Amino acid sequence: MKLLVYLWAPFANLLWYAHTVVMASLSFLIWPFDRTGDRQFWCARWWCRLVAWSIFARIRVHGAERVRRDRSYVYVANHASLIDTPALFAYLPHPFRIVAKRSLFHVPFMGWHLWTAGHFPIDRGDARKTARSLRRVIDGVRNGRSLAGFPEGTRTRDGRLQAFQPGLFRIALKAGVPVVPVTILGTFALLPRTTLAPRPGPVDVIIGEPIATTDYGERGVDGLIDRTRAVIQQTLEAGPPGRNGRRAVVGAAGLANPPHNG
């Protein structure tokens, strides 16, 4: 099995790039007719599903009914693998945007999609430019665009949950939208940061109960971080919901809620 993984890895990576070129080009062609970015999000969704299928990742989503299309959220997820981003784009139920450093927006194909689909570039290294970039993100979320990101900032090296950075939580507080904890299970086993050879296997994306930020003032960011991280940590420890649906998923209040397959 291990030999097959390494033999397939070059083809899987080639397909990953090919899917990016094809779907980003399609997104760019759709752009003049799709100023909302929703059709381009459809391109990103199918790009990521193609990526998942090419590496034989079997992704299931749970708790999709906990979020509504007609309101915006800040989704925060644990980060263990390069597969995490495709898992979110492919299976979170409603469109969202991401925050990325501005240099990524100049990368051919992927960068074109980020620009035209309305994702948010961040200028780093200049405090004034960074502040202006964050104001644009807050305004975008306040005006109805959901945001998704990884508060750990980088992929875990050992599979354990790392400390959370406050940026996404401050955006949620200033925009006045709920934070949604999202737990991704299984991607570290498939593609940890120490290898570029993805293994086949199951992945579970578990959407927790939204956490209202009205319960926290701007000075309450630490409490919001602690509460969100505790939900994700407990869900990681509980493991993936069983095929029979009996395994509990931890909700925003730290209580057990029944899982729902997407």
Per-residue pLDDT 10s for the chain (262 aa) are 677 877 777 888 888 889 989 999 999 999 999 878 889 999 999 999 999 999 999 999 999 999 999 999 999 999 999 999 999 999 999 999 999 888 889 999 989 899 999 999 988 777 788 889 899 999 999 999 999 999 999 999 999 999 999 999 999 999 999 999 999 999 999 999 998 889 999 999 999 999 999 988 777 899 999 999 999 999 999 998 874 443 434 444 333 343 333 3
Q: Report the C-alpha dihedral over residues 200, 98, 89, 66, rounded to 10 degrees.
A: 110
Q: Is 127 within the bounds of a domain? A: yes
The pLDDT score that the predictor gives to residue 253 is 36
Q: Is 102 within the bounds of a domain? A: yes
Is 204 within 8 Å of 240 (Cβ atoms)?
A: yes
Q: At 3, which amino acid appears?
A: L
Q: Is 172 within the bounds of a domain? A: yes
Q: Is 195 within the bounds of a domain? A: yes
The pLDDT score that the predictor gives to residue 1 is 64
CA atoms within 13 A on the CB side of 24: 16
Q: Is 262 within the bounds of a domain? A: no
Number of structural domains in the chain: 1
User: In which domain, by residue range, is 112 found?
Assistant: 2-257
